[in-house]
């Protein structure tokens, strides 16, 4: 269990360091071009997800996301105690990853985001983003388990651009990004609706995937 929690912590920390760090770098080098900044943020995030899931998946399962952990709990692949510990580690490691990024770029470690991310379109986007992410994980694990890392990385890369929210799709990531007043931040007051939308997307994905897999089982 210790190794699994260390794996979750390391992966989540590096994920957030990448999300925030690449956002800072993109914003610095883009000359005010938001599209270029977002592109840099996107490529770095998608790439690091492939790496992290590939190397840490055999150790912890590479959840890095409370929504994914809750789905694994619902699937009875982990216990309640394990799920609680995973989520705690994910949240604390996510915040640590944000602070690490700030330190690398010589910014104030403690920040509070002022970036507004609110409204029906944003909340719908988070529902869709999380639905797609969880569906990708569950179905790829079932039919092509060796492709999970690439599938997740590619899905998040795409979702950065086809969702209005730029696809947070992760409650721990959302909370951690509220303490970074940088390109990838989110105002603390906007966190709760985002998390609610993410959990709704997770539940919808669970229902849809169960229905799909039941249908496949009946046909076979």
| DSSP assignment of 59-84 | HH----SHHHHHHHHHTTSS-HHHHH
Tell me how long the chain is. 220
202: closest CA among 128, 145, 149? 128
Report how far apart, in Å, the C-alpha atoms of 174 and of each of 101, 104, 167 are: 16, 21, 10
Supply the pLDDT for residue 60. 95
What domains are there in the chain, each with its CATH number? 2-215 (1.20.1080.10)
What is the C-alpha end-to-end distance of the chain, expressed in Å? 37
pLDDT along the chain (220 residues), means of 10: 96 98 95 94 97 97 97 96 98 98 97 96 98 98 96 98 96 97 96 98 97 79
Supply the pLDDT for residue 207. 96
Supply the pLDDT for residue 67. 98
**pTM of the complete model:** 0.94
């Amino acid at each position: 269990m210790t190794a699994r929690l260390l794996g979750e912590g390391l992966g989540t920390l590096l994920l957030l360091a990448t999300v925030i760090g690449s956002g800072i770098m993109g914003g610095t080098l883009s000359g005010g071009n938001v599209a270029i900044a977002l592109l840099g943020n996107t490529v770095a995030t998608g790439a690091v997800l492939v790496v992290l899931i590939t190397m840490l998946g055999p150790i912890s399962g590479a959840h890095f996301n409370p929504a994914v952990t809750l789905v694994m709990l619902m699937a009875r692949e982990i216990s309640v105690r394990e799920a609680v510990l995973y989520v705690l580690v994910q949240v604390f490691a996510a915040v640590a990853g944000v602070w690490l990024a700030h330190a690398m770029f010589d910014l104030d470690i403690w920040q509070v985001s002022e970036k507004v991310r609110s409204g029906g379109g944003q909340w719908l986007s988070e529902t869709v983003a999380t639905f797609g992410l969880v569906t990708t994980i569950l179905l790829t694990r079932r039919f092509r388990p060796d492709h999970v890392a690439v599938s997740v990385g590619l899905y998040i890369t795409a979702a950065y651009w086809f969702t209005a929210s730029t696809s947070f799709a992760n409650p721990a990531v959302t909370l951690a990004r509220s303490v970074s007043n940088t390109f990838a931040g989110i105002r603390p007051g906007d966190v709760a609706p985002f998390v609610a939308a993410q959990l709704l997307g997770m539940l919808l994905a669970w229902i849809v995937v169960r229905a799909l897999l039941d249908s496949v089982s009946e046909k076979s």
